[in-house]
Copies of this chain bind each other. A is one copy, B any other.
Amino acid sequence: MTMTDNKTGVWLIGAYGSVATTALIGARSLAKGLIKPTGLITELPEITRLLRRPAGTPRNDILEFDNLVFGGHEIRKSSFKDSIKQLQQTGIHIPSELLVKIKPDLKQIEPDIRQGLSFTAESPRAQRLPLAEMVNRLVDDITGFKKKHSLERVIVVNLASTEPPMAEGAHTKTLKGFETALSHTFASLSASRLGLFQPSVLYAYAAFKAGCPYINFTPSAGASIPALLQMARKLKLPHCGTDGKTGETLVKSALAPMFNYRNLNVLSWQGYNILGNLDGKALADPAACKSKIDSKSNVLSNILGYQPHSFVGIDYVPSLGDWKTAWDFIHFEGFLGTKMAMQFVWQGCDSILAAPLALDLIRLVDLAHRQGESGELAHLALFFKKPLGTKENNLHKQWELLKSKLI
């Protein structure tokens, strides 16, 4: 049996969300050869040359899309039919001929979408249980899925809405502290009073406990707290994050080095983002917005080597739906103290930009796991606003980093 006969599981947290739905439509369309691989880094000739090595060097073989089996957690009662309708209402236009062919595939996935974790939505009985038991249910969901489909591995991907940052404490610093707190905290308390644990962190813990690599595509904490970084290393599991780089920060990380090369002194860099999808709505909550802005905030100083006056704003504009518009104004000083300016406007569709990156990460984390890599996968920095394992935010260096690792 060759490697390509093996199936890999993909466990989507936030399965009925826009990014997950778009990724699934795309994965099935690619598996069936219905679309071009535009937007997929792992289909670039420059990368596939490195990935699909000649005979005799099989290590880098990359997952084909028809070897992926999908399941996931979701807190909403929904269906892919509804989530596709939701996509359309937010301004994503997927050709109807394509949808007709893909809808049955998505329908087939629904039995593997399990009830997600929500402190407030739990039954009163569940709310009196320690969080450790809640987590065990999540682990069971994942291992059950793996067994049911005879999967070689399952990769867990966080595509859920952005949460507020998690409070630091003894429970975030060590795995021991984390697990102790977990067995002494009631679900209800965590939600209502303390904000001690955020769901993304529990999902990440459950993923590791189930022996799964983990991808955090959101700005939420996920596996980035010291306790879980430690856990991943101990269990030799690879993971990556944080916050997929799809728009303003992507452009910023491509442009900022230009000012460096030319010794142009950036005086101010103001960035204003407006968007109207569920993520935008979540970000209208100042606490959640803090997570997002945190993950955007060191990009400039890491690239420029100094911190100019800067600002990043995110505002919710419902009419925009999934279309994110960003205006950046860059004020800089050149020769003889002359002040000059540049502006850019980015008009992208959030889920359309994010979905192929999620698929790329699944393939690359799968590869890393097979190759025995573990801990934070710094070579995937290219994908993230706030990469784990490195402070490299320069897009061009991140690109070289990815390529150098694949060779």
Contact = CB atoms under 8 A, between A and B. Distances in A.
A255 interface: yes
B263 A38 contact: yes
B255 A257 contact: no
A313 B271 CA distance: 12
B268 A338 contact: no
B250 A258 contact: yes
Given A342-B347, A347-B341, A352 B331 contact: no
B336 A267 contact: no
Nearest to A34: B336
Interface stretch (A91-99, A103-111, A216-224, A361-369): A91-99
A115 interface: no
A319 interface: yes
Contacts of A268: 274, 317-320
A335 B317 contact: no
Given A262-B250, A309-B318, A317-B331, A336 B98 contact: yes
Interface stretch (A40-48, A128-136, A143-151, A197-205): A40-48
A35 B96 CA distance: 22
A297 B350 CA distance: 30
- Which of A262, A272, A334, A352 is packed against the most chain B CB atoms within 10 Å? A262
A360 to B, nearest CB: 9
Interface in A308-349: 309, 311, 313, 315, 317-320, 325, 327, 329, 331, 333-349
A395 B258 contact: yes
A345 B343 contact: yes
A398 to B, nearest CB: 8
A117 to B, nearest CB: 29
Interface string A80-122: 0000000000011111101000000000000000000000000
Contacts of A91: 339
A39 to B, nearest CB: 4
Contact of A340 (B251, B339, B352): B352
A348 B340 contact: yes
Contacts of A317: 268, 270, 309, 311, 329, 331
B342 A38 contact: no
Interface string A239-281: 0000000000011001101101111110110101010000000
A267 B319 contact: yes
A327 to B, nearest CB: 5
Contacts of A311: 315, 317
A272 B327 contact: yes
Nearest to A246: B262
B396 A257 contact: yes
A17 to B, nearest CB: 16
B263 A37 contact: yes
Contacts of A95: 337
Contacts of A251: 255, 258, 342
Interface of A: 22, 25-26, 29, 35-41, 43-44, 46, 91-96, 98, 250-251, 254-255, 257-258, 260-265, 267-268, 270, 272, 274, 309, 311, 313, 315, 317-320, 325, 327, 329, 331, 333-349, 352-353, 355-356, 382, 395-396, 399
Please list the 7 inter-chain residue pairs (A to B) with the smallest Cβ-Cβ separation, ordered nearest first. A39-B335, A267-B319, A396-B396, A254-B258, A344-B344, A338-B352, A335-B356
Given A35-B336, A39-B263, 7 more contacts: A38-B264, A95-B337, A254-B258, A325-B329, A334-B349, A341-B347, A342-B347
9 contacts: A22-B335, A44-B261, A94-B336, A251-B255, A251-B258, A263-B356, A272-B313, A319-B331, A343-B347
